[in-house]
Structure 1
Amino acid sequence: MPDAAADAQANPGRTVLAPINFMAPGQDAKPQVMMSANHAQPNQRTGEFAAVTVQLRDARALTPPASLDVQGFELADMPTAMADFYDDARIEAVYYPEIIEFLKRTTGATDVHIFDHTVRVQDDGKRAATAKRLPVLIAHNDYTEKSGPKRVRDVMEAADADRFLGHRFAMVNVWRSIGESAERTPVAMADARTMRTEDYIATDLVYQDRLGEIYQNAHSDDQEWYWYPDMGGNEVLLLKCFDTATDGRARYTGHTGFENPSATPDTPPRESIEVRTMISFAPKG
Structure 2
Amino acid sequence: MIETQLRGQFPSDFRASERINLSELMRNATGRAPQNPPTRILDARALQAEATSEADFLAEHGFVLLDSPTRVTDWGNADQVAQHYMPEVEAMIRECLYPGRKLIVQQPPNVMRRGAGTSTPQYGLGVHSDHGTTADDFQRNVEAFTTPDIGAKWRAWFERDEVEGFVSLDFWRTTGMDGPLKHMPLALCDPTSVDGADIIPTALEGIAPGGAATHHVSLAHNPGQRWYYYPDMEAHEVLVFKLFQLMRNEEPQPYRACFHSAVEDPAAPADAQPRQSCEHRVSVMLLRD
TM-score, normalisation: structure 1: 0.79
Residue range with higher mean Cα deviation, 226-235 or 89-98: 89-98
Question: How far does residue 54 in structure 1 lie from its aligned partner after superposition?
Answer: 0.8
Find out whether 1:31 has 2:25 as its counterpart. Answer: no
Q: 2:265 aligns with which of 252, 260, 264?
A: 260
Runs of at least 5 residues in structure 1 that lack an aligned partner in the other structure: 1-14, 35-43
Q: Is the 8 A contact 1:22 1:49 kept in 2?
A: no
Distance (whole Å) between structure 1 residues aligned to residue 227 and residue 6 of structure 2: 10
Residue range with higher mean Cα deviation, 183-192 or 244-253: 244-253
Distance (whole Å) between structure 2 residues aligned to residue 57 and residue 219 of structure 1: 16
Distance (whole Å) between structure 2 residues aligned to residue 45 and residue 136 of structure 1: 19
Corresponding residue number in structure 2 for 1:41:
none
| Residues matched between the structures, number | 255
Q: 2:157 aligns with which of 156, 159, 163?
A: 163
User: CA distance change for structure 1 residues 100 and 213 in 2, over 3 Å: closer, same or farther?
Assistant: same
Q: Is the 8 A contact 2:106 2:283 kept in 1?
A: yes
Q: 2:128 aligns with which of 117, 140, 143?
A: 140
Question: How far does residue 151 in structure 1 lie from its aligned partner after superposition?
Answer: 4.2
Q: Runs of 4+ in structure 1 displaced over 3 angstroms? A: 26-29, 44-52, 149-161, 246-250
Find out whether 1:78 has 2:68 as its counterpart. Answer: yes
Q: Is the 8 A contact 1:23 1:49 kept in 2?
A: no
Corresponding residue number in structure 2 for 1:131:
119
Find out whether 1:177 has 2:174 as its counterpart. Answer: yes
Question: How far does residue 219 in structure 1 lie from its aligned partner after superposition?
Answer: 0.9
Distance (whole Å) between structure 2 residues aligned to residue 46 and residue 97 of structure 1: 46
Distance (whole Å) between structure 1 residues aligned to residue 131 and residue 35 of structure 2: 22
User: CA distance change for structure 1 residues 45 and 87 in 2, over 3 Å: closer, same or farther?
Assistant: farther
Amino acid at match of 2:276: E
Q: RMSD in angstroms over aligned alpha carbons?
A: 2.7
Distance (whole Å) between structure 2 residues aligned to residue 235 and residue 46 of structure 1: 41
Q: Is the 8 A contact 1:21 1:49 kept in 2?
A: no
Runs of at least 5 residues in structure 2 that lack an aligned partner in the other structure: none
1:27-80 alpha-carbon deviations (Å, 9 max, x no partner): 69713249xxxxxxxxx7776563541111111111523722211111111221
User: CA distance change for structure 1 residues 243 and 144 in 2, over 3 Å: closer, same or farther?
Assistant: same
Distance (whole Å) between structure 2 residues aligned to residue 163 and residue 228 of structure 1: 35
Corresponding residue number in structure 1 for 2:220:
218
Q: Is the 8 A contact 2:113 2:119 kept in 1?
A: no
Distance (whole Å) between structure 2 residues aligned to residue 46 and residue 190 of structure 1: 28
Counting aligned pairs with the same residue, the percent is 24
Distance (whole Å) between structure 2 residues aligned to residue 51 and residue 132 of structure 1: 28
Find out whether 1:64 has 2:54 as its counterpart. Answer: no
Residue range with higher mean Cα deviation, 135-144 or 209-218: 209-218
After superposition, where does 1:78-157 map in structure 2 within 5 Å? 78-108=68-98, 110-115=103-108, 117-121=111-115, 126-127=116-117, 130-146=118-134, 147-151=137-141, 154=146, 156=150
Residue range with higher mean Cα deviation, 202-211 or 178-187: 202-211
